[in-house]
């Protein structure tokens, strides 16, 4: 019924670059289900598959190795990122974990200095002890990147926009540096999604998502995704995926596929609501700094304009006087925004990075990166923007 997942077959499911993005979210990489004509890929809740003779089967042997529902999702993300290969994992962090397993002790990785606290923890608390070396730097400064490269550098890891400081990194410029030095470039595209930005088209080698966020889009699943074009690296990642086994279950793959079908519509609303929330915060006397790529004074506003379709729905800001008590008062008064970790769901969330998503980052590193006591991160949802602005207005003023 389904093609088996050899690499060449994997690529075959991904129907072409001719489709427009808004069609690909619904059909990209999908194969018609022939059994009963189901329009959605069924949830193949099975661990194993019958073999008519030893080694003779219909392309699926065991669900750690391959599962048709997961396969449909893997083809979908490959299609959206203009990639040949897609892989799905049990979480965003397990996708990053699989990428790190491509490297060996002694290899050096240069990473954005402000990034999701869990990625920072994975790098520093786990992989450092296995001999990988991480260098954290402000990758907006391209000269610095060049200077940090040594003969041992194997990967540049970029989050853009970054979590939580919403820094924008020039993917095409970093890719040029990486190519010149024969180094891989990996991009965590979680905040942008392929609707706003497609890193592989800009020269990156590997793109990764916490699919938990905008792709699944409904705060009901934890999932990670990778897309790439290089066959050899894809082979290695499939090997790691099967060997380490951090795969997503079929139900989670199904929910993510369902979420992806409305990605373009949701993202447009996240972006337009983001703009309205920004306009409100921008005239608030109690608000000090605002971090959003659409702000003309944002340090890489022009890069964002070039590499992103729109500016996204993630906004961080601080209060004047930088008091933690202002954060507590503010979050307690909110009625529509919910205080919770995560982002990218239909509902608006508010997060205090210093005590929540970035608590695992040492205080001195947090402060160096601008994650102050009063820094607040908003994930602007797709509710009515009037209610969102009123909610913020009442809580701030
Ligand atoms: O939560 P998980 O699916 O494992 O994804 C990890 C991850 C990776 N990359 C980025 C940019 C992320 O933001 C995350 C998860 N972030 C949050 C939970 C958060 O609230 O920031």
Task: Mark out the alpha helices in 101-230 (DSSP H runs).
Answer: 117-121, 142-148, 171-180, 193-196
Distance 342 CA to ligand 1 centre (A): 7
pTM: 0.96
Which ligand 1 atom lies nearest to the CA of residue 211? 3
Cα(151)–Cα(273) distance, integer angstroms: 45
Residue 17: the pLDDT is 64
Task: Mark out the alpha helices in the chain (DSSP H runs).
Answer: 7-12, 21-27, 68-80, 92-100, 117-121, 142-148, 171-180, 193-196, 231-244, 250-260, 263-282, 301-307, 324-333, 363-368, 385-396
Residue 15: the pLDDT is 52
What is the C-alpha radius of gyration for the chain, rounded to an integer number of angstroms?
Answer: 21
DSSP state string for 240-271: HHHHH--PPPHHHHHHHHHHHTTHHHHHHHHH
Active site annotation includes 285 = no
Residue 18: the pLDDT is 81
- Residues 6+ away with beta carbon under 8 Å from 13: 3, 29, 30, 31, 71, 75
Distance 69 CA to ligand 1 centre (A): 23
Q: Is 188 in the pocket of ligand 1 (CB under 6 A)?
A: yes
Distance 35 CA to ligand 1 centre (A): 37
> Using the 8-state DSSP alphabet, how is residue 168 labeled?
-
Is the separation of the CB atoms in 199 and 248 below 8 Å?
Answer: no
Catalytic option among 44, 60, 85, 116: 116
Is the separation of the CB atoms in 98 and 236 below 8 Å?
Answer: no
Each residue's pLDDT, cut to its tens digit, for the chain (397 residues) gives 233 344 434 444 445 568 999 999 999 999 988 899 999 999 999 999 999 999 999 999 999 999 999 999 999 999 999 999 999 999 999 999 999 999 999 999 999 999 999 999 999 999 999 999 999 999 999 999 999 999 999 999 999 999 999 999 999 999 999 999 999 999 999 999 999 999 999 999 999 999 999 999 999 999 999 999 999 999 999 999 999 999 999 999 999 999 999 999 999 999 999 999 999 999 999 999 999 999 999 999 999 999 999 999 999 999 999 999 999 999 999 999 999 999 999 999 999 999 999 999 999 999 999 999 999 999 999 999 999 999 999 999 9
Q: Is 216 in the pocket of ligand 1 (CB under 6 A)?
A: no
Residue 13: the pLDDT is 45
Q: Is 111 in the pocket of ligand 1 (CB under 6 A)?
A: no
Q: Whose CA is nearest to atom 3 of ligand 1?
A: 92
Active site annotation includes 125 = no
> Using the 8-state DSSP alphabet, how is residue 341 labeled?
S
């Amino acid at each position: 019924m389904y093609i088996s997942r050899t690499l060449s077959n994997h690529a075959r499911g991904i129907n072409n670059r001719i489709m427009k993005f808004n069609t690909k979210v619904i059909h990209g990489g999908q194969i018609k289900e022939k059994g009963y004509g189901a329009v959605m890929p069924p949830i193949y809740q099975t661990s194993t598959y019958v073999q008519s003779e030893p080694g003779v089967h219909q392309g699926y042997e065991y669900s750690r190795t391959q599962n048709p529902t997961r396969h449909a999702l893997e083809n979908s993300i490959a299609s959206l990122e203009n990639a040949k290969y897609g892989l799905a994992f049990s979480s965003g962090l397990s996708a990053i974990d699989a990428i790190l397993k491509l490297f060996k002790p002694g290899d050096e990785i240069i990473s954005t200095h402000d990034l999701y606290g869990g990625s920072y923890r994975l790098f520093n608390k786990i992989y450092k002890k296995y001999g990988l070396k991480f260098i954290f730097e402000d990758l907006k400064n391209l000269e610095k990147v060049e200077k940090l490269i040594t003969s041992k550098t194997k990967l540049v890891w970029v989050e853009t926009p970054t979590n939580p400081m919403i820094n924008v990194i020039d993917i095409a410029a970093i890719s040029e540096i990486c190519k010149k030095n024969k180094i891989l470039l990996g991009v965590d595209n979680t905040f942008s999604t392929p609707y706003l930005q497609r890193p592989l088209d800009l020269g990156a080698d590997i793109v990764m998502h916490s699919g938990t966020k905008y792709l699944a889009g409904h705060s009901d699943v934890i999932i990670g995704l990778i897309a790439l074009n290089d066959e050899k690296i894809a082979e290695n990642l499939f090997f790691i995926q099967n060997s380490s086994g951090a795969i997503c279950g079929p139900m989670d793959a199904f929910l993510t596929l369902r979420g992806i079908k409305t990605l373009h519509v949701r993202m447009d609303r996240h972006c337009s609501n983001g703009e309205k929330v920004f306009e409100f915060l921008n005239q608030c006397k109690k608000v000090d700094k605002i971090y959003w790529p659409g702000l003309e004074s944002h340090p890489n506003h022009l890069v964002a304009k070039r590499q992103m379709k729109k500016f996204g729905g993630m906004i961080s800001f601080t209060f004047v006087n930088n008091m933690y008590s202002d954060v507590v008062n503010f979050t307690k008064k909110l009625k529509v925004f919910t205080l919770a970790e995560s982002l990218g769901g239909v509902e608006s969330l508010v997060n205090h990075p210093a005590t929540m998503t970035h608590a695992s980052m040492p205080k001195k590193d947090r402060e160096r990166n601008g994650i102050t006591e009063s820094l607040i991160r908003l994930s602007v949802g797709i509710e009515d923007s009037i209610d969102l602005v009123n909610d913020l207005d009442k809580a701030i003023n």
